Amino acid sequence: MAEIKKPEDAEGPPHGNPPATQARAEPHVHVVEPLLPQRLRRPSDLLRLLVTLAALGAVILLALVAKQTLYGLERDVTEGTTLVPLLSRVATFIGGAAVLIVPVAFAVERVFHRDGLRVAEGLIAAIVGMVGAFLIGQWLIAGNADDLSQLLTGGRDIEPLNTLLTSVLAYTTAVRVSRRPTWRALMWTVIALYILALYSGRQITLPGAIVTVLVGMAIGFATLYGIGSPNTRPPGSAVLAALRKLSFKPVSARRIEDDHQGSRRYAVGLADGARLDVTVLDRDRQVAGLPYRLWRRFRLSTETRRKAIRSLRAELEREALMAYAAQAAGASTPRLLGTSEIGTEAALLAYEHIDTRPLDEVPSEEIDDDLLHQIWEQVSLLQIQRLAHRRLTGEGIHLDTAGRVVLTDARSGEIAAGDLLLRLDIAQLLVYLALRVGPARAVRTANAVMGTESLAGAMPLLQRIALTRETRSALAKDKNLLGGIREQIVALEPEVTVEEIRLERFRPRTLVTIIASALAAYFLLSQLSKVNLVEVVVQANWAWSVLALAASFVSFVAAAVMLRGFVPDSLPLWRTTLAQFAASFVKLVAPAAVGGVAINTRYLQKRGIAPALAVASVGASQLVMFAFHIALLLLFAYITGSNTASTFTPSRGLVVALLAVALLVVVLMGVPPLRRLVTRRMRRLFSNVLPRLLDVLQSPRKLIEGSIGTLMITLTFVLCLYACVHAFNWEIGFTTVAVVYLTANAIGSAAPTPGGLGAVELSLTAGLTVAGVPAELATSAVLLYRLLTFWLPVLPGWAAFTYLQRHEAL
């Protein structure tokens, strides 16, 4: 335990003595706290390391993509230095000497200030930087990455990474020169001159200089995080000294549990018998949890997100202002009695101590309606003064010894909050209380205090993304709770109109789609670089190409026939076919399995079919199509296996396909998160499908129409691919093409990319190659097939989409 020792004289100084004398007169106080570690791994160093590595990767990737631009820029700079030879000589003379002199001078200055440990850290980083640069250079010279080696050396006999420059930058970073403005400016000026000298002497390339700088900085940050930095957090003795400057007279102090943000807290006893709860804000904790805050800031809309990084002073002022505002509003919160900085590395906030326990520790059966009313009354006081608490959880709501509600944790709050933040507070508290006492009691007690209008305003914000992390975790165990809360609010106000509020800028699924689309585009571009698309179209046999085009057109008619078979009402064939063309346009921005479902459902609703029945009809058609897909795959695989003249090795392929399907089913059903995801999606899509299928079975005409349409869709696409392969004069069996198509289509439907882009091309090309088609010919056939079935229908699809919207059919 750390102990604070004071002079033994217990007599206080006369009134008016300077503060230093008063501090010496204080009795010694034992601070009960764990010994603070001598060194810390600062999250800020790790964050800087990750940012530097990300920048390094981006620079290398950009340089590899824009080689010619960099070479041209390098030639221009080289010519410029030859035109000003004096500048080059001055840079060589000054930079070459100063790049060693300045770091040595800084080291001497630090040693005189008894900061030799920092210099030692810098020397370790410099040694690691020099060795690391040498090893990376040797690895590149050995031919392990020819493109990167050529980029960094320009084909000359020079070091890929300048070892001296790398070590100097690692040293500069590790000794934290960036915190000394004068030395920082001097050091970077010297480094710039040295780089100019190397560049004018053709001893380094432009990409090599940038990569060397980033590698040196990365090594410096890695060294700092690896060996840790001296702990500059003020100990408990410094906290008590700061309290004495605020005229408090502490006689005892002990460290208690940190708050949810990792800030230290102390329970301090005063000479008059009162107690303080002291929160210490440490500068090195300001970036704790930064990746999560950055992700939320990037993902959420502007009004709901919080600032990711605040200075120590800003965080202190924010919490103090919120505490004073809550007191002025009349809310029951611990009074803030004083604030103070503790040197330059920390600050404290001193609150009056109230004996309380968090609501999380109160058994649910003890939470009666009177307590719920108290909680809502406290929130109402904050809302009247436009104060948003933003952490209304069981840790932020306490009960004192008399059973009164006390709101704590004001640091996350907002003053002068907008309507959205105030409604978010209500939504958060509604969900938390519903988790404890059920939706009915939570909504009823909230309505008694806040009113129906406030609850209706919060209803659109009953979204998981709007809740705190702890509440989201608890909500995972009761997925129907949000729906139950909405039902209770609607029961209070049946005529309530709820406007949709989009809190998220994007969903993680959208991000996955973008990444997958980028990878798919890269694959397609790499394929197109090997094949001339114009030549593909020109060299293809026109008779087979026309047949493929006709099959592609018939597939849209077949889709319309299939949809008509699963709808009890009569649908016009022509307009229903236009809806299928419109779906092909939507596939440009939606996965293949999603765009068609959404368009058809919307089309049926516009035809006057009830939403539930429209969804059930589309779901039934999808389910039947899935069954046909599996049955045809097994049938064609069996036929292909029995045909010994085929080049497809079918029996083995059938076994592999069955094993792959079985393995996929085992994985999906064996991993709980995946199983829940699949069952939820299937339940959502096919919730009312069975009654719709029973209706279809009772109408033979509808059953025949739907089955014919479903079968025609598959056969026309197979025929299209079959004709595309024959268009390049290659003989292949129809059943073999069917197996390839059915397998690739299943993969493309599961891919998150628009229209299965990339996944379909890769699967079809691989399947045809396995079937014996040469790789280049398979690529050409697949590109022609996708041109006819995916890209060519986009323009008529857009026209159909516009036409249907203009005539209010979509």
Query: β-pairing, 31-32 with 250-256?
Result: parallel
pLDDT band at 372, cuts 50/70/90?
very high
Range of lowest pLDDT (143-152, 729-738, 796-805): 143-152
Q: 328-342, 370-384, 436-450, 683-697: which has the minimum mean pLDDT?
A: 683-697
Give me the mean pLDDT over the 386-393 stretch.
91
Q: Is the pLDDT of residue 98 over 70?
A: yes
What is the percent of the chain with per-residue pLDDT over 70, rounded to a whole number?
73
- Which tokens hold the place of 18? 């300077």
Question: What is the per-residue pLDDT for 675?
Answer: 66
Q: What is the mean pLDDT of residues 478-503?
A: 80
In this predicted model, which residue has the larger pLDDT, 609 or 350?
350
For 10-14, 180-184, 235-239, 641-645, which range has the lowest pLDDT when averaged over its residues? 10-14
- Which secondary structure element, helix H or strand E, spans residue 536, and what is its range? helix 533-539
Among 631, 632, 627, 649, smallest CA distance to 640 is for: 649
Q: Which residues have C-beta within 8 Å of that of residue 787, sequence separation ≥ 6?
A: 533, 537
- Residue, of 258 and 449, whose pLDDT is higher: 449
Q: Which of the two residues, 596 and 257, has the higher pLDDT score? A: 257
Mean pLDDT of 72-80: 56
Q: Which of 722, 705, 704, 708 is nearest to 552 (CA)?
A: 722
> What whole-number percentage of the chain has pLDDT above 90?
22
Per-residue confidence band for 23, with pLDDT thresholds at 50, 70 and 90: very low
pLDDT of residue 215 exceeding 80: yes
Q: Where are the alpha helices (DSSP H) in 305-366?
A: 312-328
Q: Is the pLDDT of residue 303 over 60?
A: no
What DSSP state is assigned to residue 161?
Answer: S
**Out of 36-50, 56-70, 219-233, 571-585, least confident range:** 56-70
Structure tokens at 296: 């939320």
Expressed in angstroms, the distance from the first to the final Cα of the chain is: 73
Residue 468 phi/psi, 5-degree rounding, is -70, 165
Q: Between β-strands 346-352 and 336-342, what pairing exists: parallel, antiparallel or unpaired?
A: antiparallel
Question: What are the backbone angles phi and psi of residue 279, rounded to the nearest 5°?
Answer: -105, 130
Residue 27 is classified by DSSP as P
Q: Which of 20-24, 92-96, 584-588 has the highest mean pLDDT?
A: 584-588
Span 135-159, pLDDT tens digits? 988 888 887 777 788 778 877 778 8
φ, ψ at 276 (rounded to 5°): -120, 150
pLDDT score of 324 more than 70: yes
| Phi, psi values for residue 347, rounded to 5° | -150, 160
**Residue 750: what pLDDT?**
61
Determine how many CB atoms are found less than 10 A away from the CB of residue 424.
25
Residue range 237-266: mean pLDDT, rounded: 91
Tell me the C-alpha distance between 129 and 166, whole Å.
6
Tens of pLDDT, residue by residue over 737-770, are 888 888 777 766 666 666 666 677 778 888 888 8
- The answer on pLDDT for 242 being more than 70 is yes
Distance CA 216, CA 3 (A): 42
Coil vs helix vs strand at 465: helix
Identity (one letter) of the amino acid at 775?
A
Fill in the DSSP letter of residue 647. S
Note the helical H segments in 228-288: 236-245
Residue 326 confidence class, pLDDT cut points 50, 70, 90: very high
In terms of Cβ atoms closer than 10 Å to its own Cβ (0-12, 13-18, 19+), residue 660 is exposed
How high does pLDDT run on average in the chain?
78
pLDDT (mean) for 276-302: 75
∠ Cα 261 267 270 (to 5°):
145
Q: Cβ neighbours of residue 161 under 8 Å, at least 6 residues apart?
A: 133, 136, 137, 152, 208, 211, 212, 215
CB atoms within 10 A of CB 414: 18
Per-residue pLDDT, 335:
94
Tokens of 272: 């008059």
The answer to whether 468 and 263 are in contact (CB under 8 A) is no
What are 154-182's pLDDT values in tens digits?
Answer: 777 788 888 888 999 999 999 988 888 88
Tens of pLDDT along 106-115? 888 888 887 7
In this structure, which amino acid lies at residue 586? V
